[in-house]
Structure 1
């Protein structure tokens, strides 16, 4: 029979554990780790006393990271055609993000989202005027994440520059909110011969 691995939480650490000089309001729990084949696993001929780790349980908190939206304008498109909004977010560091973060794309008037999106679980809300995408933790410093939001231009849009679009990011780890939002413009052009 294969040995099993059990993890249990103790209410207090053993009396011989290292202590800090200043008393704490409540002791941190220690993790009781019983490895396969070690005493306490219940294997024949072994002791039933588990080997206890004295390391305190670690709970991840927010990291020291700085999320920044980098402006990228979508490719030009003709009225009635599609283009893609690139919601481009960089982590300026110094830490890897320890929490998830949310990217919200606000679309200008005359533009509607049209999936599929990346990530595929992005959600359209506010009557199709905005798209929300959630990224998990783990974005390293000086690396980027991109949400891709295909959009369709209304067929009656005039030629020119369509403004009013925004990309914004928000996360628990972000220490600097001054660079969390950037606008984007869409150039509305005449239909090309290949369309």
Structure 2
């Protein structure tokens, strides 16, 4: 039925507008498409070197495994950060994120982050560590942080070493 209202003509239907069935312009997903992984993005993940705070023999400090996405795209796949600790240092949870895992010997910790790290953003895994009480004062070398992702197009910046300074106990 058409109703004249001034210069406007409106068509009224018996069904409310939300009940009108319109074809969906998107094709229905096939079962195989539902489980297919996302196309890897064009991302460049970079490990940024951050040395842990100094600590005394028998003391603790935290390794900050810092990864930045240089882009140009948001990551579409999960990525893994691996922290290798120098001799004389042992990982001591809890870790952040909580799904980080010690791979069994206290010297390698692996953390997995989900997709979605935007260009210009960063992710950090925190790995608390205990220094052996037998360590000499000085600098421990041999620690490293690395990142792996199927999205990463530049592997040259995926690993950085770090040092831990072993210092005297602060007077209290």
Of the candidates 102, 106, 115, which is equivalent to residue 124 of structure 1?
Answer: 102
Distance 2:131 2:26 in 1: 61
Number of the residue aligned with 1:87: 65
Q: Equivalent residues in 2 for 1:2-41 (5 A)?
A: 37-39=19-21
Q: CA deviation at 1:52?
A: 3.9
Distance 1:164 1:142 in 2: 29
Distance 1:83 1:54 in 2: 53
Structure with the larger RCO, 1 or 2 (CA within 8 Å, 6+ apart)? 2
Q: Does 1:167 align with 2:145?
A: yes
Distance 2:20 2:129 in 1: 59
Number of the residue aligned with 2:25: 53
In the alignment of these two chains, the number of paired residues is 149
Q: Which is helix-richer, 1 or 2? A: 2
Pairwise CA RMSD: 1.7
SS of structure 2 residue aligned to 1:178: helix
Q: Which runs of 5+ in 2 are unaligned?
A: 1-17
Displacement over 6 Å in runs of 4+: none
| TM-score, normalised with respect to structure 1 | 0.72
Distance 1:107 1:130 in 2: 6
Number of the residue aligned with 1:142: 120
Number of the residue aligned with 1:154: 132
